[in-house]
Structure 1
Amino acid sequence: MISTLRAAAIVLVLAVAGCGGSAEPLAAEAASPFADCAALTAPPPAAAPVALAGAGEPLPEVTLPCFTGGQEVTVSAIRGPAIVNLWGSWCGPCREELPAFQRFADRAAGKVTVVGIDTRDSRPAASSLAADLGVTYPNLFDPSERLRAKLGVTALPATLFVDRDGRVRHLYNSTALDDATLATLAAKHLGVTLP
C-alpha cells in the first residue's frame, strides 16, 4: 500500500513538473490585443475594383512577423484597398492617431483593410498601449525598422494607402491623422467612401 502511494506521488510530481527537463515553469507570453494576420494578403470580400489614375509603386519586399501568432507576412503581398500605418508606442503623434485608425477599421470592415506596423518598439509596450486604446486590427512587428528604411521615411507616423493590386497610391507622413482626414484620404486615394 505504501509503495503504491509513493508511486502515485512520483507520477503526480512528474505530471505537475511537465517532464520538460526543467524544473522551472515556462514564462507565459502576454496575450496580444491585435487580430491575427490571416486575411491580410486577400482583398476585403466586399471590395469592388476602383479605377484610379496612375500606377503607384508596389509595396516593398519585406517579410515581418504578425504581432499575434507570429506567422510571417510579406508586406508586398498585402492587397487592398488597405491602409498601412507605421507606428510605435514611443511616438506621440502615433499614440494620438491610433484610435482614429481603430474607428476607421470598425467602419470600413469588409471594404478596407487596416494594418498596423509596430515599428522600433517592444512587444510589451505596444500591447499595453493597444490594450489601453482598444486597438485590435491586425499588426505586424518591425522592431528593426526594415519597412521604414525601405520606404525612405525618416519619422513616424507614416501611412500608406494601398490599392487592390498592392500598389501605394499615397504616402502620408505628417501630423497625426484624425477621423475626417483619414476618411478624406481614403476617398481620394482608394476611391472608398464610408457612411
Structure 2
Amino acid sequence: MKRWRYTLLFVALCAGLLVVLAKGFGRNPHEVPFMLSGKPAPDFALRSLDTGERVSLADLKGRPVVINFWASWCVPCMYEHPVLEWGQREFGSQAVFLGVVFEDTEDNARGFLRKNGYSFPQLVDPRSRMAVSYGVAGVPETYFIDPSGTIRGKHVGPIDPESLTQRIRELTATAAAPSPAEAARP
C-alpha cells in the first residue's frame, strides 16, 4: 500500500514538472513581461551630457522617440552602439533618438562617446530615477514611444538592425495612421 502512494506521488511530481517545462518552451527567453506597453511613457526632464541642455519627453510629443539605456562598462552596449548610430543616420528624420547613461559616471560616459562617437543626445539620469520609472532591469534596453507619448515596446539586450528597423516602421506607421476622428471625416 505504501509503495502505491510513493508511485502516485512520483507520477504527480513528474506531471507537475512536465507542465512547468511545457509552459516555458516556445517562449523567447529574452522576452521580459513588460507592464508599461500601451501605457503613457513616464515624463522626464534630463540634462544633456555634452551641452547641459534640458531635454524632456513633453517637448518631443508628436514625434516617435527611441530611448536607449546604456553604460560605458556594459560590453553588450559596446556592440550595440554602432547599430544605434546607424539607426540615427537611417531614421533620425523619422524618430528622435536619445541615449540615457545608466549607473555610470559622466567622465566614463564621455570617454566612451569620445572613443566611439555619437550623433544623438545622451542624457544624464541622476540617481537612476528615469530608469526606475521605466522599469529598466539592466542595460542595454531600448524603449519605443509613439508620437502620442505611448510606450509601444521595449527591446532587452543589444538591438540588431532588423529589429530596430521593424520597430521604427511600427512607430512611423502609427504616426502616419489617421486618428478615428480624422478617418470618419468626409
Partner of 1:104: 87
- The code of the aligned residue for 1:181 comes to S
1:59 corresponds to 2:41: yes
- Per the TM alignment, residue 114 of structure 1 is displaced from its structure 2 partner at its CA by 0.8
1:166 counterpart SS class: coil
Q: Is the 8 Å Cα contact of residues 68 and 98 (structure 2) preserved in structure 1?
A: yes
Structure 1 vs Structure 2 CA RMSD? 2.0
After TM superposition, the runs of 4+ consecutive aligned structure 1 residues lying more than 4 A away are none
- The code of the aligned residue for 2:96 comes to T
Change (3 A) 1:150 1:108: same
Trace 1:11-22 onto structure 2 (pairs within 5 A).
none
State the identity as a percent: 26
Partner of 1:178: 160
Cα distance in 1, alignment partners of residues 41 and 163 from structure 2: 22
Q: Is the 8 Å Cα contact of residues 62 and 146 (structure 1) preserved in structure 2?
A: no
Q: Pick the structure with more helix per residue.
A: 2
Partner of 1:147: 130
Cα distance in 1, alignment partners of residues 48 and 169 from structure 2: 27
The TM-score, its normalising length taken from structure 2, stands at: 0.66
Cα distance in 2, alignment partners of residues 190 and 172 from structure 1: 17
The TM-score, its normalising length taken from structure 1, stands at: 0.63
Partner of 2:53: 71
- Number of residue pairs matched? 137
Cα distance in 2, alignment partners of residues 190 and 90 from structure 1: 32
1:57 counterpart SS class: coil
Partner of 1:125: 108
1:165 corresponds to 2:148: yes
Unaligned 5+ residue runs, structure 1? 1-54
Partner of 1:28: none
